[in-house]
Structure 1
Amino acid sequence: MTVSLIGAFLAAVAYGAATILEAIGVRQLAALPQGSPWRDRMPGAGIYLCGLIVDLVGFLLSAAALRRLPLFLVESAVASSVAITAVLAVFLLGVRLHRSEIIALGGVGAGLVLLAVSAKEGPPQAVGHLAGWLLLLAAGAVALILLVGWRMAADRESSAAVLALGAGAGFGLMGVAARIIVIPDHWWQWFTEPTFWALIAHGGLALTAYGLALSRGRTTTVAAVTFATETVLPAIIGLTLLGDGVRQHLWAVAGVGFALALGSCIALAQRAEPEPAAGQSC
């Protein structure tokens, strides 16, 4: 379990750094006049691209962790990336943490320790190809949420909240796909696996929704809604449908740890609001 836990926490570090990069990049691009030449867009696009690359690294680390650890633990660890964002905001953006936020940082750490102690290690139960097709079908629902949020451009804050909900659902279901996917014997068999296509679809939709949400609303709101959705949804699916387990007599510990980690992450989301910085690049 130790190696998988390290992978999950390294994924949180990667996601936290990516949030800072993506938010700065999106804001720089949004500040440019419409029709600006590509040369002017390069700095912001470069920063955002760096964020996406770091996101990919985070996903690969979390996907590896999901081979052995339950969704509620890994997704909670990934959501704790907002704590990494808060710390990076202090060192890179000059943000000062208040006492309540320092307490929340401790809450994230304590919650993750409780989850790590209570989680039962092991692969998910076999679910067959039907689960992959259902996940692929669910991508249509995420796409619908994205479309609704995109068309609400007149109300930017509401639009951002809906888009963040879609992003959280997409990221969460991408985690479910990574948890249940069966590694094929030959590389070409990936393309016949519905879970593989579901993973790609949810990842693409989630990144699109997240980027749009960051451009329309406060990063605080976007981070809180996204992290809450991508943590709670897969946790429910894992515990009820995939056989994710808790060690005997430790359900209360797991519940307290989950609530503490998630609540602290949402509280810390207010530190995820970086100001655009000129001249920053990868």
Structure 2
Amino acid sequence: MLAPVLIGVGAALVAMVLNSLGALLQADGALRASRTRPVAVQPRYLLGLGADAVAWLFSVVALRFLPVFAVQAVLGGTIALTALAGERLFGTVLRRVDRFAVLGCLVGLVLVASSAGQSRPPMRSPVVDVVLLVSVLLLSVAVLVLRRGRLAWPLAVVAGLGFGGSTLAVRAAHVQGGLDPSQLLSEPASYLVLGFFLVGLLGYSAALSRGTVSTMTALLTVTEVVVPGLVGIWLLGDPVRPGWEPVLAAGLTIAVVGVVVLARSPHERPRRR
């Protein structure tokens, strides 16, 4: 029983490190972008996308052995890694209140993860596919509209919803079709994964070009953890540990407060390199 848990935790930890590496590479690529060399052709940005893709594959492996809450909360460590590396590599200056907000996000995510029950694949309603389809369409419109503006934090939040939606789509496909590849390919949720993932990539790259990598990563990560976790409970029947509802509520509150503080923080557009 211990081996599957260790495999899941190990895969989630690898995904966390790769997510942080991807964020830093994409941020550097966004800073180097210009009209003649847009971000889409920047080598470091493309390497960052590759790191994100590999990280996502490891998170899929982790989801086979751990609940959504547990996997996503481990990935929340990306906040701390990216904040520390961002200060050293990009000279990002975080206010004291921002540091406390990042710490609050981490504490909140740990509490949320602790409240997760045992991961069992319950039966689900066919309405799940409809909800996911409508969600990816709305998020696609939102990211295209927000990319025309100057605000960074809404893009980071939408990106978090996109990446979180891909996690839900993976989880939904597992719930319905198990691990049989032929059944997974017959699941509509399997094809929604790509749509959600593209929304996340577009939103995150735009957010990084407008805000600091540490703050944008914190906003993205908390959104990516909290929303799929709650939707997983409501839509997919993921369980909460008996009696741990107050802990879940406290973790959500702390994490959301941290996100609000970071969203209200004055962000200067990073300097071009």
What TM-score, normalized to structure 1?
0.76
Map residues 76-155 of structure 1 onto 2, 5 A cutoff.
76-93=73-90, 107=104, 110-127=107-124, 129-150=126-147, 153=148, 155=149
Residue by residue over 1:109-130, the C-alpha shift from the partner in whole angstroms, topping out at 9 and shown as x without a partner, is: 5445444443212134222554
Matched to 1:169, the amino acid is: L
Among candidates 47, 68, 72, match of residue 71 of structure 1? 68
User: Any conservation in 1 of the 2:73–2:110 contact (CA below 8 Å)?
Assistant: no
User: Any conservation in 2 of the 1:25–1:45 contact (CA below 8 Å)?
Assistant: yes
User: Any conservation in 2 of the 1:118–1:246 contact (CA below 8 Å)?
Assistant: yes
Structure 1 vs Structure 2: percent identity of aligned residues?
31
In the aligned structure 2, how far is the partner of 1:166 from the partner of 1:110? 22
In the aligned structure 2, how far is the partner of 1:43 from the partner of 1:241? 35
SS in 2 for 1:119: coil
Distance 1:82 1:123, change over 3 A: same
Aligned residue pair count: 264
Among candidates 189, 192, 204, match of residue 198 of structure 2? 204
139-148 or 245-254: bigger deviation: 245-254
Matched to 1:234, the amino acid is: P
1:6 aligned residue? 10
In the aligned structure 2, how far is the partner of 1:264 from the partner of 1:161? 13
SS in 2 for 1:120: coil
In the aligned structure 1, how far is the partner of 2:100 from the partner of 2:155? 29
1:168 aligned residue? 160
Residue by residue over 1:237-276, the C-alpha shift from the partner in whole angstroms, topping out at 9 and shown as x without a partner, is: 1122222222222222333334445555776787x98956
Runs of 5+ unmatched residues, structure 1: none
Distance 1:262 1:76, change over 3 A: farther
72-81 or 257-266: bigger deviation: 257-266
What's the CA shift for 1:210?
Answer: 1.9
User: Any conservation in 2 of the 1:120–1:247 contact (CA below 8 Å)?
Assistant: yes
1:185 aligned residue? 180
SS in 1 for 2:166: helix
What's the CA shift for 1:193?
Answer: 2.0
Distance 1:253 1:163, change over 3 A: closer
2:26 aligned residue? 22
Distance 1:13 1:212, change over 3 A: same
SS in 2 for 1:84: helix
In the aligned structure 1, how far is the partner of 2:101 from the partner of 2:238? 27
User: Any conservation in 1 of the 2:219–2:259 contact (CA below 8 Å)?
Assistant: no
1:251 aligned residue? 245
User: Any conservation in 1 of the 2:124–2:237 contact (CA below 8 Å)?
Assistant: no
Corresponding position: 1:219 with 2:212: yes
User: Any conservation in 2 of the 1:124–1:180 contact (CA below 8 Å)?
Assistant: no
Distance 1:190 1:238, change over 3 A: closer
User: Any conservation in 2 of the 1:70–1:238 contact (CA below 8 Å)?
Assistant: no
SS in 2 for 1:181: helix
Runs of 5+ unmatched residues, structure 2: none
User: Any conservation in 1 of the 2:40–2:46 contact (CA below 8 Å)?
Assistant: no
Residue by residue over 1:39-65, the C-alpha shift from the partner in whole angstroms, topping out at 9 and shown as x without a partner, is: x66996110011111111221222222
SS in 2 for 1:156: coil
User: Any conservation in 2 of the 1:119–1:247 contact (CA below 8 Å)?
Assistant: yes
In the aligned structure 1, how far is the partner of 2:203 from the partner of 2:233? 27
CA RMSD of aligned residues (A): 3.4
What TM-score, normalized to structure 2?
0.78
